[in-house]
Amino acid sequence: MTIHLDANMLVEVGLSGSAKRASLIAWLKEGNHLAASTIAWSEFCNGPVGEKQMRLTETAIDDRILEFTKPMAETASVLFNKCGRRRGSHSDCMIAACAILSDTPLSTLNRKDFERFTPYGLRIHTF
């Protein structure tokens, strides 16, 4: 199975001693995979993040950084409009659209921010 990571989970992947990181590593050892959208990757790269943390995270997701496509952009706009046009929420709409259209559950530390997208097909995964 593949899990799509929000930016905050990408941060956890590279944090030594993180409980979430330990869960992610155990999950990977079971033969599962991690992925992220270019939107989440961009948020992650905004940092602060060091070169070592960036490389660890990139290795963990095995370079599965999904390009943001036109259908994803259109779906993100639908989500934005259906979920109240909340200021500052468009990047969450884009991350959710990528997970929905790639048919992968999303793992995030901001579950509350993403629950509003579940009626539109987003599945949220908890580690």
Residue 47 in domain: yes
Residue 75 in domain: yes
CATH number for the domain harbouring residue 37: 3.40.50.1010
Residue 127 in domain: no
Position of tokens 């539109």? 120
How far from 117 is each of 11, 43, 74, CA to CA, in Å? Answer: 22, 19, 15
Q: What b/e readout covers 17-32, taking b as 16+ CB neighbours within 10 angstroms?
A: eeebbeebeebbeeee
pTM for the model stands at 0.91
Residue 126 in domain: no
Domain that holds residue 13: 2-120
pLDDT band at residue 56 under the 50/70/90 scheme: confident
Question: How many distinct structural domains can be found in the chain?
Answer: 1
pLDDT band at residue 17 under the 50/70/90 scheme: confident
Residue 63 in domain: yes
Structure tokens at 126: 């908890």
Residue 39 in domain: yes
Rg for the chain, CA atoms, rounded: 14
Please say if the pLDDT value at position 47 is more than 80: yes
Residue 125 in domain: no
Average pLDDT, the chain: 93
Residue 67 in domain: yes
Torsion of CA 70, 105, 47, 83, to 10 degrees: 60
